[in-house]
Structure 1
Amino acid sequence: MLRGRFAWATALLWLSPATGAEPIEAQVLVYGGTPSGIASALAAADSGRAVLLVEPYSHVGGMTTNGLSHPDFRTFEGLSGTYLAFTRRVLDHLSATFGAGSPEVAASFRGTHAGPGINRLVFERMIAERPGIEVRARTRLIGVEVDESGGSRRIAAARFGPEGDGPIDVRARVFIDASYEGDLMAAAGVPYRVGREGRAEYGEPLAPEEADGQVQGYNFRLTITDVPEDRVPPLEPPGYRREEFEGLVPLLESGALDSVFCPSRGGVYKAQIPPLPRGKRDINDVSREVVRLSLPGLNDAWPEGDAETRRAIFDAHVRHNVGMLYFLQTDPAVPARFREEARRWGFCRDEHPEHGHLPEQIYVREARRMAGRHVFTEHDTGHAPGDARSVPRPDAIACGDYGPNCHGTSHEGPRFGGRHSGEFYKQVPPYQIPFGVLLPRDGDCDNLLVPVACSASHVGFCALRLEPIWASMGQASGLAAHLAIRDGVPVGEVPVPELQRLLHAAESATIYVSDVPPGAPDFAAVQWWGTLGGLHGLAPVPGTPGQRGENIVGQYYEAFPNHAAGLDEPMDDGLRRRWLALASGLGLPTGPLLDAASRGEFIRGAFALAPDGP
């Protein structure tokens, strides 16, 4: 295909069943045990559907169980649904194991920062509690069978190759591609893009002038510790060549770098804050620094690469990410103070022991992106005209609060001392995510939902590519699959209002509301009213677009200001007129709402009058 332009992938078809194996039947097939895939499976199973969750790696959890222990969200108020339930289960596990008042519980940051091993344990327990979910690990996609009869196009079956076994065919009513790469989507011949759009295509200020095939850089999310009894020093990785790292030494000697590990800037490795429980740290790429873990350009072949290509890219990142730490700890050319600092740290003995204490997966920040019904762009994250809130999306199935961010798509100059280009970080208000980002375009595939390699521009995708958001989109996909099967309709014909009601009942937000959290008595009513547009117009655009609350620590903040429902606030005449007009437009009788004294009383009354209300 041509990078950066629409094209069709080659659908992989077969004419005979897999040798020696009967096809497996499932109502919902989820490919990819990422947090999004897990959320899809849980939602579908909780709706009574039989689910097969196929995971190409050895265990589920995606990056959350492969080093990404420091999840990307701005505020606790932005977490909801399956991901919030997961963090609560993590907190329960830590409390039961170490005690409710223990340092481990405090360090978990309300259950959001636990570490790969604990994250995996909790996810596996959540899945095991649902007998309707069967998991097949170490099972990779081989191809798909596409049925184009009857005037529609749909996936009839998918073929997988389990490790050490013959291929298996799986037939399902609905397929969900929750892989980071969008491999199932591509094999089904659904249009997608790889690379960046030019600025003129969507009018995005953050887009480059010209389209290209560059994708955001990858790296490993290493988990390290300075606790001596838990520390495993890095070994020389296969293919290590010390001369590849000699360029580090002048930077260390010149004062261009302050340390090996840093919380934000001035170091080689970003040791995220707050720290994890039991003295562990989540390691990431240091944004806008002269030494980087990410290697943009090198990973451009990953999205469409075969297994051999992806393995070569994986190995190159091991040599760089691990080889650099080995060099800093052992090479006599490294200035003593940096070498001594580096030696205090090592990999965690109890994390990834089956893989040499390294993650099994690399951090694929961006790969394929579906060309779907709604292309999520930078504009979807902007303020509505004159409003503190973002562009309203009445068909929202999720929301996010992080903002577009890209660690770079190419590198200029030497590996050490050069600079990434294509890097950006934008402050935006919390935004809503339309149902159409999950859906192929009409006629492309009637029974496929894509919550990870979703429909977005490069810039828009850089706002959605975060595990809590992907999990919300996965939860919506699982519920949409249930409704499509129940009604016998294509996934694109699922009734969105009913999908939203199911999401709200499952404590999953479709609009950011800072003062009515999941589990609150009025959560469903406020989400319903807010998603219809009722909460827009309550506050103007702040002086700083995307203004955040007070900083807590690192990248985490108190709730976004001007995003409260204010249920106890009295109704003023202007708001009453506007809300009555909205209710009338929905076909609700307005008489019972005329005397509502407060915002909360009005919203509760309107929700009770809704045809499918409480």
Structure 2
Amino acid sequence: MMAWLRLLGVFGVLTLVEWTGASAEQTYQYDIVVYGGTSAGVMAAVEARMLGRSVAIVCPEKHLGGMSSSGLGWTDTGNKAVIGGLAREFYHRIWKHYQKPEAWKWQKREEYGNRGQGTPAIDGERRTMWVFEPHVAEAVFEDFIREYSIPTFRDEWLDREKGVVKQEGRIRTIRMLSGKVFTAKVFIDATYEGDLMAAAGCRYRVGRESQSEYGEKWAGVQIGVLHHRHHFGVLKKPISAYWIPGDPSSGVLPRISTEPPGEYGQGDHRVQAYCFRLCLTDVPENRVPFPKPEGYDPKQYELLVRIFEAGWRETFEKFDPIPNRKTDTNNHGPMSTDNIGYNYDYPEASYERRREIIKEHETYQKGWFYFIANDPRVPEDVQKEMRRWGLAKDEFVDNGHWPYQLYIREARRMVGTYVMTEHDLLGKKETPESVGMGSYTIDSHNVQRYITPEGYVQNEGDIGVPTPRPYAIAYGSLVPRREDCQNLLVPVCVSATHVAYGSIRMEPVFMILGQSAAAAADLAISLQVAVQDVPYEQLRERLLSEGQVLEYTKK
């Protein structure tokens, strides 16, 4: 027996096809489908609705906003003047929230002072705030979704093996593991991993390019480059990599690779380290003590003991304060919350393997805090201070107060019609067809922890190179090559080298590029052209009219 049912609506079409009594294939039709519930995904969907398009967000996430609502509340912004459009509106709404007296439950607003980085907006009226609590950011994203009536399909996972159907160079449908099928005229991949882009057959890279490939000074293996304080060179004495110092036969300490690090400037498969951005608090009534993770092994932190013995005392340097006596806690130091070397296979891994990697990162990071707070070998002053802190009870309440999203600093990077390189960021060339701007320092976290020829431990891959001024991001970096796909835009896993991505990968930039991608999608649909053929002048005019900043003039 077969039945057909079609439901027409403003926001899309739902079709139940070939019902046989036991199962049904659900097909949803929209002008634009955004895959991924990141900050870029939300802004892309909002832009599409503002332009009158039917649009849906389809995403593996249950909570929207990606890192912006999952602990990264101390926003890395660079020059705030180049953040416009919907991204600026997001940070304006954050500011508006904290103007309410009831927003300050655990702290008086005057106690927090000006650490919120509050600044006038471009128009001089709509003020912004760049520091916030995770649940506040999530609420702002949910407000956007509700205000614009955007259908959102959560906990939906792309069938990466067989779920993308292409015809004549275009994606026709994408299928989820649940069986749901989505059709659209244009698709936007807003995931941190680039799963739709990869499944659609677009070219991409994982790992670091060599210096010779694009002529980039900061490309490839960076042995000897120690830009921040996240390395062993900050210590008063070197640390042996072996259980018995100086004796290789005693075995290598945990969390140190025995692989050769590679030659300076050489490309490799390695990916910069991931971590969770924790929201901690020192308010007793709102504090959850650091839990002892399942599988906890204090031996994993032997290297940390030696770092403390060498006199290191910077444990709390990146407990950045956000409102209500909470923190955005990030990696800092030779052995911190970054789980160096345990993520190389994540970008290409199966969903099952990714869950294992995420769990390993959680175990490592929970163990790091638990170790410092409880192990008797930790210096008393450090341990006493750590015990003041704990997980915030009113954050991530359905996830054990642990962030929803692992910080995927970098995964796949598309190789599109234009590849952003350090030459674009450092002002050494003119970037064509700007659809947004970045300005943050070129920033890569460590990529590996290795053994030097002398038998000491060292980190490698952490670079920090200031950009001399804000730089344009090319439309071509959002667009696959024509022969790869003609109706897909990629605002997160953009076409950029490892070096360039180190600056582009900031959350405000993802919001900017998400909005620009949706504006381009609308034009492609209206003009019935491939995304590669969207007339830039029309796109530029639209973006400028919506408050996007496409070039920088110092005032």
Q: State the TM bucket, normalised to the shorter chain.
A: 0.7 to 0.9
Query: Counterparts of 1:142-181 in structure 2 under 5 Å?
Result: 142-143=159-160, 144-148=163-167, 152-161=168-177, 166-181=178-193
Which residue of structure 2 lines up, in the alignment, with residue 254 of structure 1?
A: 310
**Contact conserved, 2:374 with 2:383, CA < 8 A, in 1?**
yes
Q: In the alignment, what sits opposite 2:518?
A: 478
CA–CA distance in structure 2, aligned partners of residues 413 and 119 of structure 1: 41
Deviations, residues 161-199 of structure 1 (Å, cap 9, x unaligned): 3xxxx4200011100000000000111111111111111
Counterpart pick for 2:97 among 93, 96, 99: 93
Pick from 433, 436, 441 the counterpart of residue 395 of structure 1: 433
Q: 2:261 matched to which residue of 1? A: none
Query: CA shift at 1:212, angstroms?
Result: 1.1
For residues 19-418 of structure 1, the aligned pairs below 5 Å read 19-98=23-102, 102-103=109-110, 106-110=114-118, 111-131=129-149, 133-143=150-160, 144-148=163-167, 152-161=168-177, 166-208=178-220, 209-255=265-311, 257-262=312-317, 270-272=318-320, 275-286=321-332, 289-384=333-428, 391-413=429-451, 418=457
Question: What is the CA distance between 1:393 and its match in structure 2?
Answer: 3.1
Distance 1:66 1:350 in 2: 13
8 Å CA contact 1:234–1:322 kept in 2: the answer is yes
1:8-56: CA deviation from partner (whole Å, max 9, x where unpaired): xxxxxxxx98950231111101011111111111111100011110121
Q: Using the alignment, how far apart are the partners of 2:538 and 2:73 within structure 1?
A: 34
Letter in 1 for 2:315: V
**Aligned AA (1:60):** L
Q: Is the 8 A contact 2:70 2:403 kept in 1?
A: yes
The answer as to 2:504 corresponding to 1:464 is yes
Q: Does 1:420 align with 2:459?
A: yes
> Size of the alignment, in residue pairs?
472
Compute the displacement of 1:413 (Å): 3.7
Cα deviation, residue 90, structure 1 = 1.1
SS state of the match for residue 171, structure 2?
strand
- Aligned to 1:175, the other structure's residue is in SS state strand
Larger fraction in helix: 1
Letter in 2 for 1:136: F
CA RMSD of aligned residues (A): 1.9
Q: How far did residue 116 of structure 1 move?
A: 0.6
Aligned CA distance change for structure 1 residues 26 and 80 (closer, same or farther; 3 Å): same
Deviation at 1:95, TM superposition (A): 1.3
Deviations 1:187-234 (A, max 9, x none): 111111111111111000001222211111111100111111111111
Partner residue, 2:226: none
With over 3 angstroms needed to count, the CA separation of the structure-2 counterparts of 1:329 and 1:91, relative to structure 1, is same
Say if 2:83 and 2:437, in contact at 8 Å, map to a contact too: no
8 Å CA contact 1:83, 1:468 repeated in 2: yes
Gaps of 5+ in 1: 1-15, 263-269, 385-390, 514-562, 565-614
- Determine helix, strand or coil for the equivalent of 2:447: strand
1:259 CA displacement: 4.2
Give, in whole Å, the separation in 1 of the partners of 2:438 and 2:475. 14
Instruction: After TM superposition, give the deviation of residue 487 of structure 1 in Å.
Output: 1.1
Tell me the amino acid that sits aligned with residue 258 of structure 1. R
SS at match of 2:176: strand
Structure 1 residue aligned with 2:229: none
- For residues 70 and 422 of structure 1, the distance between their equivalents in structure 2, rounded to whole angstroms, comes to 23
Does the CA contact (< 8 Å) of 1:215 and 1:296 recur in 2? no
Looking at structure 1, the residues matched to 61 and 294 of structure 2 have their Cα atoms a distance apart, in angstroms, of 21
CA distance in structure 2 between the partners assigned to 1:412 and 1:247 by the alignment:
13
Alpha-carbon separation, structure 1, partners of 2:334 and 2:315? 12
Note the alpha carbon deviations across 1:481-504, whole angstroms, 9 max, x for none.
Answer: 111111111111111111111111
Match of 2:10 in 1: none
Contact kept in structure 2, 1:198 and 1:211, CA below 8 Å = yes
Q: Give a deviation string over 1:346-383, Cα, whole Å, max 9, x none.
A: 11111111111111111000000111000101111122
Identity of matched residues, %: 37
Q: Tell me the distance in 2 between the aligned counterparts of 1:453 and 1:80.
A: 21
Within a 5 Å distance, the mapping from 1:429-448 to structure 2 comes to: 429-448=469-488
Distance of 2:340 and 2:268 partners within structure 1: 13
TM-score (norm 1): 0.74
TM-score (norm 2): 0.82
> How many Å separate the matches in 2 of 1:259 and 1:423?
17
Q: Which has the higher contact order (CA 8 A, sep 6+)?
A: 2
